[in-house]
A = this chain, B = another copy of it.
């Protein structure tokens, strides 16, 4: 069948919520490519077409990089401005955020760079003062009010215009990349609404991040731009290659880590990732990162979100606290996944799910009310992480850096370990409260009907825990530097413990516990620091965290959400470890009626239509005869329906008694019989078969690696049954003692 001509419209396409056939899609692309290559020898125009076709992939990557980089910059700038709007407004120009407002001011000194007359808190605007309990209450009230407004707008927009814009989107993107179709999930409405509501959700102060949703935004860009290129618009497999690259670009702009982004796409998101895609993803990720940098949303020409400047060495003994942080991260990951999934299941099954707006407003109100009094919860989460990662310099005015003898430097000009001052102690308390709040509220936030990412809240939990432990270690080393564990390397007056590093390690551990990322996590953190010094601590923590979390539950948060939603996702990482055979899984089961088959040259249109109407199978094997059960090919239900309909409409004389031929040549018919219907062109002549004694582990491997939708089962050359992807997934669920009926789609 020549797919380029597409003789009957609709043949070769898929229904919504169905799985694509990777083998067929790739074949079609190769046919298209072959056609173009052959034609290119004929004329100059065709040659130019062939070259432009070859380069269209690169052009597409460039466009995706530019668009997703720009969108990320826009989101960063708007979210920054709107977050500050909760606290006040700039009279020098309402479009300035707090920082820019005071940059442009003339009345500002370096020490008080946060305070300038142009920036007015709401109490100043309303009651003309910033002092006293009443002003505090006014600010508090305005803070909560703005938060509620933003959250309300976000959830309403999502609910009304684009329900797919909620959540982080990564579970769905994983499923789509594995070959599932969800129409509209990566469409233009989703893109527009997700971009707007992401800004609103982040600004509302809820415990969520914009990093995960940025991957969704980038994938929407990729999908929309695919429509400009025939090569990618018409082919589901090729489009998924583009989406893999777009996901890499998304992470690249989220963290300013292009290599980490590519590895994230490879490790976490993608399903089919040939090397060509690796190279293109890298290109897209780089373009996106540099676009973002030239927009310069953080105002510091930095690519990365959390830039880490210290390069102080660490000591081997410190691996003990780092591994403790890893254990904490693993525990947090496992706890979060369990409770969050339980809560989301409750939302799905009870009345709760019917009132998303009220739910969002309640959570926002609680978050805002609890957040305002504590400065560490009031600031945006990414600012908090930045501050926690930071090592105290000489000029830092933060409470976290309020050590005694602040301005004593050691000989080398570096700051030695010092006793903590009052500010540090009070910061510790506030951070501990922040930790508890974040842990609890994130569980309820992730999964609500607004765009919400997990990276930032997870990292915040880890960074707080890490900083607390780091400061604790620092004080321990300061007061007890004669202990055996310290005295070999941590003399008095030396800078031996860097609390910022602990925060970084903790953040990596918690992120690893929740997402179960490994290489990409370490590489992203490595790109933040730009040096190999801290890669061993990060790796130790990430490894411990993954092991601990895996021991308490095999799935990462994204896989857990995929399973919760019943998407047909065949995990590529888990080995299938049971000793079942293909005959244990195939349909029909032992006592069922025989497999429904079509014969190649003896069924009428009516027979086939009866079979179609009486069954719901998405395809039928075609055999030589019912007696021999020798397999000829496989025909898809959708193609069959479309072809018969088409024939009845357009082909003269095809009636219910016409015989359908799947053979190459139909025999000469006696006169006065109705004309035959030849359908060999929609027959898949190379269906995959396995024997009934094939171990399921091999069958699962074939499904995974070749991206099959179904596979036929034979015994000694006779057709016996069929295994679909859904059957495989149900079997895997059953073997893992899970509910096999949780797999919803084909």
A interface residues (Cβ-Cβ under 8 A, vs B): 23, 26-27, 30, 33-34, 37, 258-259, 262, 267, 274-276, 278-279, 282-283, 286, 289-290, 303, 518-519, 522-523, 526-527, 530-532, 535-536, 539, 543, 572-573, 575, 577-579, 582, 624, 628-633, 685-691, 693-695, 697-698, 701-702, 705-706, 714, 716-719
Contact = CB atoms under 8 A, between A and B. Distances in A.
Nearest to A719: B717
Among A33, A573, A693, find the residue whose CB has the most chain B CB atoms closer than 10 A.
Answer: A693
A698 B543 CA distance: 39
Contacts of A630: 716-718
A34 to B, nearest CB: 6
10 contacts: A30-B575, A30-B577, A30-B697, A275-B572, A289-B532, A527-B532, A628-B717, A685-B691, A686-B693, A706-B706
Contacts of A275: 267, 518, 572-573
A519 B691 contact: no
Given A34-B579, A530-B531, A690 B694 contact: no
Contact of A632 (B34, B37, B697, B716): B716
A258 B718 CA distance: 53
Nearest to A54: B547
Q: In the A-B complex, list the 6 residue pairs whose CB atoms are closest, starting with the nearest.
A: A630-B717, A686-B694, A685-B693, A705-B705, A279-B518, A717-B717
Contacts of A690: 686, 688
A702 B545 CA distance: 37
Given A685-B691, A686-B694, 15 more contacts: A26-B701, A27-B697, A30-B575, A259-B259, A259-B526, A278-B518, A282-B518, A282-B522, A628-B717, A630-B718, A686-B693, A689-B714, A701-B706, A705-B705, A706-B706
Copy count, this protein chain: 2
Contact of A530 (B290, B530, B539): B530
Contacts of A716: 624, 630-632
A532 B27 CA distance: 39
Contacts of A695: 27, 686
Contacts of A37: 577
A283 B539 CA distance: 8
Among A30, A523, A628, find the residue whose CB has the most chain B CB atoms closer than 10 A.
Answer: A30
Contacts of A523: 259
A532 B285 CA distance: 12
A268 B539 CA distance: 25
A53 to B, nearest CB: 14
B519 A279 contact: yes
Nearest to A31: B579
Contacts of A531: 530
A716 B717 CA distance: 9
A577 B33 contact: yes
Contacts of A535: 258, 286
Nearest to A257: B532
Contacts of A701: 23, 26, 706
B689 A685 contact: no
B276 A573 contact: yes
A629 B630 CA distance: 12
A37 B579 CA distance: 13
Nearest to A633: B691
A280 to B, nearest CB: 10
A698 B25 CA distance: 11
A690 to B, nearest CB: 6
A289 B535 CA distance: 11
